[in-house]
Amino acid sequence: MRIIPGVHHMFSAKSFVSVVTGLLLCLAVSTAWAEASGAPLKWWQKTTVYQIYPKSFADTFGNGIGDLRGITGNLDHIRDLSCGAIWLTPVYPSPMVDNGYDISDYKGIDPSYGNMEDFDTLIKEAGKRNIRIVMDLVFNHSSDQHSWFKESRKNRVNPKADWYIWRDAKPDGSAPTNWRSIFGGPAWTWCEERQQYYLHTFAPQQPDLNWENPEVRKALYDAARFWLDKGVGGFRIDAITYIKKPEFRDGAPDGEDGLSAIHTMTANTPGILGFLHEFKREVFAGRDIFTVGEANGVAPEDLPKWVGAQGVFDMVFEFSHVNLHLKNGEVWCRPTEWKLTELKSALTASQKMTAANGWCPVFFENHDQPRCVDHFFPKGADPKKAAKVMATVLLTLRGTPFIYEGQELGYTNVAWPSIDHYNDISSHGQHRTALEEGFSPEEALAFVHFFSRDNARTPMQWHTGLNAGFTTGKPWLPIHSNYLTVNALTEANDPDSVLSWYRRLGKFRRYHKELTAGTYEELLPEDEQIYAFSRTLGNRRLVTVANFSLRDAALPRNFADNMTRVLSSEPGGDDGSLRPLEARIYREKR
């Protein structure tokens, strides 16, 4: 039977006995996860990061595309969420095949976003509000329009000939391996001039750089230092697990196209850490910044090698909790079912692996993910309630929370009537794959509705006026139809809104050190309705309980006996049962 995307996790009934057993088990193991060092936290461990997709944030030029001045003009919105850093997705010159993740100059600003002066102003104005700007480094690949690639592709002897991954065809003329790129289609593209193939993990317009070449590494480090000299507060490092290539050999075909998913062959290849330690030494070491690597393919048990004193980054984005639907690889038309307990154990695993040595980002959305209220809750969930549940979990887990633009307003997915409405390059590739695999056009579109990255890229909704205040021109992507109620101004004036809840939690986190420095323990690990965990610092302890289901959820008897409820996302008394989609924070009386 084919599975059409939607929310597939099932909430099964469970017995009281299993809850109690789970609770005891969990309490037993969790004591071992104590905070390893009492070292004072760094600024980026105490703050929350706000992620901006500049193209969709705020347009001041009237061309339908967001820009740097639009960000500078809205910094107070970010400050009011208690965020001390902004992760800016790429703003460098780019042909925009992948909206800036195809860079043609690592040291510039794309004219559609403004100029270097605008960037300097942004750093300065953000600084006045104690907000630091974090840049996105896209170093696995460049654009095919970068001067490096234009030169490299000319022939086999030019000075940049070895800056990308070039290989001869197999004797029959076919590509060197049968790898499928992450955006669909073969990962190798033929180049007439050189009579060779080049490798691209993503689109053909994003050729992979050759990290084996020391000149390439030097040029990349130099670009990163350029931004450090401007005073940026850190880096998010894109697709970094793909930089080390393994032996070039075919993988077992995993689809109708006879190809094999590239990431299963190339992610986190042995030897990669050598490159990354050099990167750290040459660029990051000793600076008051933070680094967060996008680490697809790094399992929770690998985390100690990647983060912390012995690791290479301060944090890495680890994706097991957002990829529960994609356990069959990154192919949208083969979604899998999952249960709340799987989400909880994925989160607990990453909390646990970074507890002793290291730190983790906490995130449920970014520019590549569906909106969290459509992603993690049963079909039919009230988006406003679900958004508050997710906010509560996000801002009370251990680690640095990342809020993605729109998440603080309770954004939901879109569902446009045909694939032609979608801009996202991966949506087109995945749609094609679904059709090739025999799905009907309606089914293929349903996969896009659920997974498309455009769900996360519709413009910011600032108020109820023209184009929700995003632009006076034609928005590059349609504004979501819910903008009359879901927008920053309306929500700022409503104490019960998602935005007000985020602001309140942001302050709460700032004033409760147990939420930043405290240890994490999962409670009720076997419960299929409730995610519960505690954060403890010395003799202070806060407990979060969040009902992810559409039914009342009873807390085990005596669970809250010693606790006072301090925050609750739903009105009503504390009768030992959570309302559907209710989150609470309790303080334990000690």
Minimum separation from the CB atom of position 555 to ligand GLC (A): 38
| Options 294, 302, 365, 522, the catalytic residue | 294
For tokens 């104590």, what's the residue? 34
Q: SS3 string of 488-501? A: HHHHHCCCCCHHHH
| Residue 446 within binding range of ligand GLC, rule CB under 6 A | no
* Closer by beta carbon to ligand GLC, 454 or else 521: 454
Binds ligand GLC by CB under 6 A, chosen from 65, 78, 138, 224: 138
Distance of CA 573 to the CA centre of its chain: 36
CB atoms within 10 A of CB 172: 5
Minimum separation from the CB atom of position 49 to ligand GLC (A): 15
410 within 8 A of 384, measured Cβ to Cβ = yes
* Closer by beta carbon to ligand GLC, 23 or else 135: 135
Burial class for 28, CB neighbours closer than 10 Å (0-12, 13-18, 19+): exposed
SS3 assignment, position 506: helix
CB atoms within 10 A of CB 298: 23
| Count of CA atoms in the C-beta half-sphere (13 A) of 361 | 27
The encoded tokens of residue 49 equal 């990061």
Q: Is 238 a catalytic residue?
A: yes
522 within 8 A of 544, measured Cβ to Cβ = no
* Closer by beta carbon to ligand GLC, 240 or else 550: 240
Buried b (16+ CB within 10 A) or exposed e, 252-277: eebbebebbbbbebbbbeeebbebbe
* Closer by beta carbon to ligand GLC, 294 or else 374: 294
Residues 161 to 180 in contact with ligand GLC, rule: CB under 6 A: none
* Closer by beta carbon to ligand GLC, 33 or else 319: 319
Pattern 394-433, ligand GLC, x by CB under 6 A: ----------------------------------------
Pattern 281-300, ligand GLC, x by CB under 6 A: -------------x------
CB atoms within 10 A of CB 193: 10
* Closer by beta carbon to ligand GLC, 318 or else 368: 368
| Count of CA atoms in the C-beta half-sphere (13 A) of 324 | 24
Distances in whole angstroms, Cα of residue 499 to Cα of each of 131, 227, 247, 488: 19, 32, 49, 7
Minimum separation from the CB atom of position 294 to ligand GLC (A): 6
Minimum separation from the CB atom of position 296 to ligand GLC (A): 7
Please list the residues that pair with 361 across neighbouring strands.
Answer: 400
Which residues does 518 contact at the CB level (< 8 Å), separation at least 6? 35, 398, 535, 536, 537, 540, 541, 542
Q: Is 294 a catalytic residue?
A: yes
* Closer by beta carbon to ligand GLC, 6 or else 297: 297
* Closer by beta carbon to ligand GLC, 295 or else 550: 295
The encoded tokens of residue 396 equal 């009370």
Alpha carbon distance 53, 96 (integer Å): 13
Closest CA to 384 of 502, 498, 246: 498
* Closer by beta carbon to ligand GLC, 210 or else 549: 210
Rounded to the nearest 10°, the torsion over CA 351, 353, 355, 356 is 170
35 within 8 A of 357, measured Cβ to Cβ = no
Binds ligand GLC by CB under 6 A, chosen from 77, 153, 367, 388: 367
DSSP letters along 103-128, please? -S-TTS--GGG--HHHHHHHHHHHHH
| Options 98, 110, 136, 238, the catalytic residue | 238
Binds ligand GLC by CB under 6 A, chosen from 139, 148, 166, 202: 202
> How many amino acids of this chain bind ligand GLC (CB under 6 A)?
9
Residues 215 to 244 in contact with ligand GLC, rule: CB under 6 A: 238-239
* Closer by beta carbon to ligand GLC, 368 or else 528: 368
The encoded tokens of residue 254 equal 């995993």
Binds ligand GLC by CB under 6 A, chosen from 98, 208, 514, 528: 98
The encoded tokens of residue 433 equal 């794959």
DSSP 420: G
Which residues does 135 contact at the CB level (< 8 Å), separation at least 6? 88, 227, 232, 234, 235, 236
544 within 8 A of 569, measured Cβ to Cβ = no
Alpha carbon distance 219, 139 (integer Å): 10
Minimum separation from the CB atom of position 446 to ligand GLC (A): 22
Pattern 322-361, ligand GLC, x by CB under 6 A: ----------------------------------------
Minimum separation from the CB atom of position 79 to ligand GLC (A): 25
Alpha carbon distance 235, 338 (integer Å): 33
Query: By beta-carbon distance, which residue lies closest to ligand GLC?
Result: 101
For tokens 């789970």, what's the residue? 22
* Closer by beta carbon to ligand GLC, 241 or else 534: 241
Binds ligand GLC by CB under 6 A, chosen from 44, 53, 57, 101: 101
Binds ligand GLC by CB under 6 A, chosen from 368, 405, 454, 522: 368
Minimum separation from the CB atom of position 504 to ligand GLC (A): 30
Please list the residues that pair with 546 across neighbouring strands.
Answer: 531, 583
Pattern 58-97, ligand GLC, x by CB under 6 A: ----------------------------------------
Catalytic residue positions, numbered: 238, 294
Could you list the residues that contact ligand GLC (CB under 6 A)? 98, 101, 138, 202, 238-239, 294, 367-368
